[in-house]
Structure 1
Amino acid sequence: MMKAFKKRGALTHFQILSEISKQDPHLKQKDLAKKLGITIQAVSENIKTLTELGYITSKDGRSPYKITQSGIDKVKKDAISLRKYSDSVLETMNHYKTIWPAIAKEELKKDDIVGLYMDDGVLYAHKKEENATGIVLDDAEENMDVSLTNLTGIIDMKVGEVTVINVPTIKDGGSKKCDLDLIKNVYEKGTNNNEIFNKVAVAGTVSRAVTNKLGISIDIEYAAPQASANAARKGLNVLAIVVGDMSKAFTRELESEKIKYNIIDGAL
């Protein structure tokens, strides 16, 4: 913070003096408190201090309040300090660029205008025309990360869906009571729209045992509800094999994120 406002209460003093300088004869302490978002007691204490410093005058600490020449000089000095500080912040913000990372699908050069698209949940940049574009900040080799700015347009991306297969707890028989043929068939068939599952999530030891038995690779294991919803938002379809009541965490997360899902009973 700039030097003029380093002392505790300095900004409040500046605000009170600024309001009093408007020469409103009906200005009350409660009006100042409301405008500044502080208590009437705090206003009273600050006015007492400002009076002792010779910046304002009043009769018995009551309105009408008048700002002295010393107070005017103080406000001007602090206002200039505040303006310089604000100008420096604005100058910094004008040079600040929002940077987005992507994977370069081909060799890209600084200042290239590129098209952007999503594939398998990853943002890619190339020189072909797309509905979304960006400007390359630094040279990048093919298949390497590239920094982009000035993103415009809409990235073509559909939202994926999640299929939750609920399997028995170990108390209810675990994997021995799972309909493995059903689970395998769902995995191989894909979504209700016959699209492949891009990611497989598990929640619970029984779920891991089932994937081991069926030779299905696990992509998501930790924070599975949140990770599954995040994957779906990026256009990926997720198969989640979930033990018992753990499915409730999935449904809550998916519903809150407005992700399409369906639940299948994976028990025999």
Structure 2
Amino acid sequence: MVDVLENKRAATRFRILVEIAERQPAVSQGEIAEAVGVTSQAVSEYIRELVEEGLVEKEGRSRYRVTKEGVDWVFQSASDVRRFVDHVTDDVLGSVQEDAAIAEADVEEGQTVSLSVAEGLLRAAPGDSGGATGVATTSAEAGAVVGVTGFEGVIALDPGHVSVVQVPPVRSGPVEETADIAAACEGASIVTAAGVEAVVALRDAGVEPTTYFAAGEVAADAAARGLDAVVVATQDTVGRVTDALRDASVDYDVTQ
């Protein structure tokens, strides 16, 4: 289990570090104690240990700052917690919740269905094909929406790949050659654009973007559903795009 969930002391250290980061550099130990639910004396002891370990540095009386090492520790712990929460919501609770799928053929309520993902959407076919299965909670004709619960097994799904193509910002002038952009988008299920320059570059290449809002997040979600995606982004915005892809643990590459 994640350390900050398994170990009460680690959880308290995590919360105190977060409180310091939020309030720095002027840090009231009393306010932190109230927020975390421990005594001021306990906060003082925790901070002393954090300073000794190099996770926090003291700049003066009641003035503290989280170090780079402290930020890294908080970030790693937060990432571990996020993965654990994803496991609980997707793998544990997902087996007891109801979800919607597209019926591949006529389905009767209470019937066992085989589950698959195609074009990024959950699909249900009557019977048990030996893979992931569920139980229909509604009846539906082929092509209609059917409710599914009682999930068992794992849906066979190869994650998609995201290609990030950089284009220059407006101050650097227009994109002169769009053939590479068109080639990168060929065969991609989802094409997103980050920045007005990216939208125009795509349209000059004869490609209409799927969306130009939350480009990185949309591409990450598509890849998680087994779709290949392309993000065309200005050099100013590519960092936000790759942050979203890294946060989602998506396989991606960046080209210019």
Q: Normalising by the residue count of structure 2, what TM-score does the alignment of the two structures yield? A: 0.60
Partner of 2:203: 212
Contact 2:107 2:136 in 1 (8 A): yes
Measure the CA separation in 2 of the matches of 1:100 and 1:170: 44
Bigger Rg, structure 1 or 2 = 1
- State the aligned residue count: 164
User: Conserved in 2, the CA contact under 8 Å of 1:116 and 1:130?
Assistant: no
Could you say what secondary structure the match of 1:174 adopts?
A: coil
Match of 2:125 in 1: 126
8 Å CA contact retained: 2:199, 2:212: no
Q: Name the residue aligned to 2:181.
A: 183
Q: CA deviation at 1:119?
A: 0.6
Aligned equivalents of 2:38, 2:167: Cα separation in 1: 59
Does 2:161 correspond to 1:161?
Answer: yes
Shift in Å, 1:154 = 0.3
Confirm or deny: 8 A CA contact 2:182 2:206 kept in the other structure: no
Partner residue, 1:253: 244
Alpha-carbon spacing, 1:39–1:264, altered in 2? closer, same or farther (3 Å): closer
Verify the 8 A CA contact 2:179 2:205 in the aligned structure 1.
no
- Measure how far apart 1:220 and its partner are: 2.5
Q: Is the 8 A contact 2:182 2:202 kept in 1?
A: no
Structure 1 residue 101 and structure 2 residue 100: aligned? yes
Aligned pairs for 1:1-268 (under 5 A) are 98-128=97-127, 129-176=129-176, 179-188=177-186, 196-265=187-256
Alignment root-mean-square deviation, CA = 2.0
CA shift for structure 1 position 39: 8.9
Give the deviation of 1:175 after TM superposition. 2.9
Question: 2:181·2:202 contact (CA, 8 Å) conserved in 1?
Answer: no
Q: CA deviation at 1:148?
A: 0.8
Q: Percent identity?
A: 25
Amino acid across the alignment from 2:101: A
Corresponding residue for residue 12 of structure 2: none
What code does the residue aligned with 1:167 have? V
Contact 1:157 1:235 in 2 (8 A): yes
Matched residues in 2 for 1:130 and 1:101: separation? 20
Amino acid at match of 1:158: D
- When normalised by structure 1's length, the TM-score is 0.58
Asked if 2 retains the 8 angstrom alpha-carbon contact of 1:136 and 1:148, the reply is yes
| Secondary structure of 1:254 counterpart | helix
Aligned to 2:27: none
Gaps of 5+ in 2: 1-36, 40-95
- Change in Cα spacing, 1:39 to 1:105, as seen in structure 2 (3 Å) is closer
Match of 1:57 in 2: none
Q: Secondary structure at the match of 1:114?
A: strand
Deviating runs (4+, > 2 A) in structure 1?
Answer: 185-188
Q: Which amino acid aligns with 1:105?
A: E
Shift of 1:245: 1.9
